[in-house]
Amino acid sequence: MKLPRTYYNYISYLGSIIAIIAAFAITFFVIQINFFQTDNVYFDLFAYLVTPGFLVFGLILIPTGMYLKKRKLKKGLPVSDEKLLVINLRDPQTRNAILIFTVVTIFFVIATVIGSYKGFHYTESVEFCGKLCHKVMEPEYVAYQHSPHARVKCAECHVGEGADFYVKSKMSGLRQVYKYILGTYPRNIETPIANLRPARETCEKCHWPQKFYTNKIRSQKYYLADSANTEWDVIMKMRIGADHSALGNTEGIHWHINNDVEITYQADEKRQTIPWVRYFNKSTGKEIVFVEEDTSIHPTVKEVATTEKRMMDCMDCHNRPSHEYFSPPHYVNELFAGNRIDTKVPYLKSAAMEATNDLYTTKDSAFAGINDQMIKYYKEGYPALFSKYEKEIKKAVTAIQEEFSYNTFPYMRVSYKKYPRNIGHFENKGCFRCHDDKHKSSDGKVISKDCNLCHTLIGQGQRDSIKYSPINGTMPFIHPVDIGEDWKTTNCSNCHFEMF
Ligand code: HEC
Ligand code: HEC
Ligand code: HEC
Ligand code: HEC
Ligand code: HEC
Ligand code: HEC
């Protein structure tokens, strides 16, 4: 077979070899995927991305070599027309060269394939995401390890399946590495993540909306900041789905993700102020638009909202499925409930609230501060209690320091205050961003704030005198301390967000 004279040069030879190997590799992966039904994102990646890259590179080398040679010929420079495929196997030198070349190439190709495969796996691993730039990812990584998703890989929520998102995430990863090296990354990292992969393609791989949850009993213990650390219990039936599972998510909280229901909204970039909400039913065609008209609460739709209309999905309620930073009142209540600190030490809740209230700037100063403040609180305020309960107080200090380190990260300036939790309405507006009785439709309907819409109260009160209602009944809410009717008129988060 005769080829143009210009083809006979080393660059074009190299290109040809690369292209041929790549073509073989592509054939191999494509056969694997299509004939052996290998459902593996890595095979997709190699078949459709990595090896085609090599193929194109090889193919580009061929004309490049030819062009360079042509230029040399034109200028009359000496060129070699040595043909690669004129091989004299009788010559022992050629034989050896071929042998070495073949062995090295095969070794090289195998090593590259294994290497990139391993490398790929590595970049998808929790260690890579959570530990490589430890300083920056510490909050997310630590919270993740204590979350219900501690065994779900970061990449399953943040990248998901398919080569396109893999490439997107690695491109943005490169930008982040660059920022990391320059030290120009933001502290704290901004949320919501604007281009997070839609829940449809991540969460719903494991929790699909057709899988219904019915109701769930939720029992929560609170401890008041009084002398006895009075325990106050709240037991609620959460109406996640319908009362009977056969009804699916036609009612209840997960009604929002019913396949027929589409809720779209406009909000500020933090998604905390939502002046415009549209409900649309895909099967009946019914549409209701709710607008929050009271501009004394916040500016008009035009002023506040980004132009983006967002379709509500799992993440609009479950925005902290894996990185939940709890407030001091919450984790101290949990310490009491788990008997890790002792309710019999008077004023312990109150002392803990004072000690965790400071804005510490480093973890070390936080640990020292918590210790000093707790001890000062008792030594100065209640010296008799200090000598009686010294051991219990010191144990409490250690437990509180530990919880603090899971929930507050001074270096990255991360705490519950920076990342609103959109589920519920206790410390953040959450559901009350829309359900506030103030978003009105043109015919006067509102998005309801009725205390029995999302849950019913089936028990509440002090530990020894809890009042119960029947499981299918409910009772009016009693606020643990007397604040009159304020809890009806003001959002809970107005007082509970920065109360301590
Ligand atoms: C169960 C799914 C899930 C897993 C697993 C997960 N994340 Fe997230 N991550 C989210 C969601 C949802 C958000 C918040 C998105 C928003 O508010 O826009 C988020 C936010 C973040 C943020 C932005 C800052 C913040 O705290 O909101 C970082 C950084 C992050 N994740 C890193 C990680 C790392 C590192 C891992 C693994 C150690 C991980 N994520 C595992 C779902 C997940
Ligand atoms: C790879 C599978 C997987 C993915 C992806 C996943 N989850 Fe989960 N999720 C689980 C498992 C398993 C549990 C149950 C953990 C348990 O029983 O303690 C769970 C539990 C939950 C719970 C209940 C938490 C609790 O306190 O009991 C919620 C809510 C949840 N997931 C939401 C989400 C959201 C939102 C996303 C997407 C951002 C998501 N999950 C992505 C596997 C997954
Ligand atoms: C309108 C807000 C909202 C949306 C949207 C939403 N959820 Fe939920 N989900 C809740 C609430 C509230 C609970 C109950 C939490 C509790 O018990 O404290 C819940 C509970 C759950 C649970 C735990 C069920 C159990 O029995 O413990 C899972 C898992 C879950 N949701 C997954 C999802 C997934 C996946 C999506 C998206 C397909 C989704 N949710 C969409 C509000 C929502
Ligand atoms: C973006 C706005 C928005 C947010 C945020 C929101 N909802 Fe809704 N929700 C709606 C709209 C709109 C309706 C329908 C109102 C109507 O037609 O009466 C609704 C209806 C409901 C219903 C009644 C469903 C039925 O018909 O049985 C429940 C229960 C509910 N929401 C719970 C929640 C919970 C819990 C949260 C917070 C975790 C929440 N919602 C957050 C907009 C929202
Ligand atoms: C739109 C739905 C919705 C409405 C309306 C609603 N709640 Fe809730 N509430 C929730 C959800 C969801 C949670 C659970 C949050 C979580 O999982 O942490 C919750 C939690 C609570 C808690 C436990 C606090 C905590 O998080 O520790 C109390 C108490 C409570 N609600 C009282 C009320 C009262 C009183 C009203 C009426 C003024 C009311 N709720 C109206 C959805 C609602
Ligand atoms: C006017 C301010 C105010 C409003 C509004 C308010 N609270 Fe409170 N709340 C308080 C005070 C003050 C305490 C007492 C704190 C203590 O002693 O630890 C308290 C304590 C609580 C506790 C016990 C907390 C703990 O960790 O010890 C719960 C539960 C509670 N409130 C629920 C609610 C709910 C639910 C709402 C909204 C429906 C609400 N509160 C609205 C002021 C308020």
Closest-CA residue, ligand 5 atom 20, reads 424
Closest-CA residue, ligand 4 atom 42, reads 434
Question: In this predicted model, what pLDDT tens digit does every residue of 316-331 receive, in sequence order?
Answer: 999 999 999 999 999 9
- Per-residue confidence (pLDDT) for residue 150, from 0 to 100: 94
CA 264 to chain centre: 21
Cβ–Cβ under 8 Å, residues 261 and 255: yes
User: Rounded to the nearest whole angstrom, what is the distance from the C-alpha of residue 462 to the centroid of ligand 5?
Assistant: 19
Q: Is 318 in the pocket of ligand 2 (CB under 6 A)?
A: yes
- Per-residue confidence (pLDDT) for residue 492, from 0 to 100: 95
Q: Is 126 in the pocket of ligand 1 (CB under 6 A)?
A: yes
- Per-residue confidence (pLDDT) for residue 500, from 0 to 100: 47
Mean pLDDT of the chain: 87
User: Rounded to the nearest whole angstrom, what is the distance from the C-alpha of residue 142 to the centroid of ligand 5?
Assistant: 27
Closest-CA residue, ligand 1 atom 41, reads 154
Cβ count within 10 A of residue 314: 19
Distance in angstroms (rounded) separating the CA atoms of residues 273 and 297: 10
Q: Is 199 in the pocket of ligand 3 (CB under 6 A)?
A: yes
Ligand closest to CA 223? 6
Distance in angstroms (rounded) separating the CA atoms of residues 325 and 330: 10
User: Rounded to the nearest whole angstrom, what is the distance from the C-alpha of residue 86 to the centroid of ligand 4?
Assistant: 77
- Per-residue confidence (pLDDT) for residue 181, from 0 to 100: 78
Q: Give the CA dihedral 102, 105, 106, 110, nearest 10 degrees.
A: 180
User: Rounded to the nearest whole angstrom, what is the distance from the C-alpha of residue 272 to the centroid of ligand 5?
Assistant: 17
Question: In this predicted model, what pLDDT tens digit does every residue of 42-65 receive, in sequence order?
Answer: 676 677 667 878 988 988 998 899
Ligand 1 atom closest to Cα of 143?
38
Residue 387 structure tokens: 């000598």
Q: Exposure string (b/e) for 291-308, b if CB count within 10 Å is 16 or more? A: bbeeeeeeeebeebbeee
Ligand closest to CA 420? 1
User: Rounded to the nearest whole angstrom, what is the distance from the C-alpha of residue 203 to the centroid of ligand 2?
Assistant: 7
Ligand 2 atom closest to Cα of 202?
5
Distance in angstroms (rounded) separating the CA atoms of residues 291 and 444: 10
User: Rounded to the nearest whole angstrom, what is the distance from the C-alpha of residue 323 to the centroid of ligand 6?
Assistant: 25
- Per-residue confidence (pLDDT) for residue 94, from 0 to 100: 66
Cβ count within 10 A of residue 22: 21
User: Rounded to the nearest whole angstrom, what is the distance from the C-alpha of residue 446 to the centroid of ligand 3?
Assistant: 23
- Per-residue confidence (pLDDT) for residue 321, from 0 to 100: 93
Closest-CA residue, ligand 1 atom 16, reads 192
Distance in angstroms (rounded) separating the CA atoms of residues 320 and 420: 9
| C-alpha pair distances (Å), 231 with each of 118, 223, 234 | 53, 5, 10
Q: Which of 196, 197, 206 most suits a substitution to test ligand 2, by most atoms within 8 Å of the C-beta? A: 206
Mean pLDDT by 10 residues, the chain (500 residues): 79 90 85 70 69 87 90 85 67 74 73 65 74 82 93 89 78 79 84 82 87 89 96 97 84 92 91 92 95 66 66 94 94 97 96 90 94 96 96 97 95 90 94 94 94 96 95 94 93 82
Ligand closest to CA 274? 4
Question: In this predicted model, what pLDDT tens digit does every residue of 285-308 receive, in sequence order?
Answer: 999 999 987 665 555 555 555 667
Distance in angstroms (rounded) separating the CA atoms of residues 212 and 288: 25
User: Rounded to the nearest whole angstrom, what is the distance from the C-alpha of residue 310 to the centroid of ligand 5?
Assistant: 24
| C-alpha pair distances (Å), 296 with each of 40, 292, 491, 492 | 54, 10, 15, 19
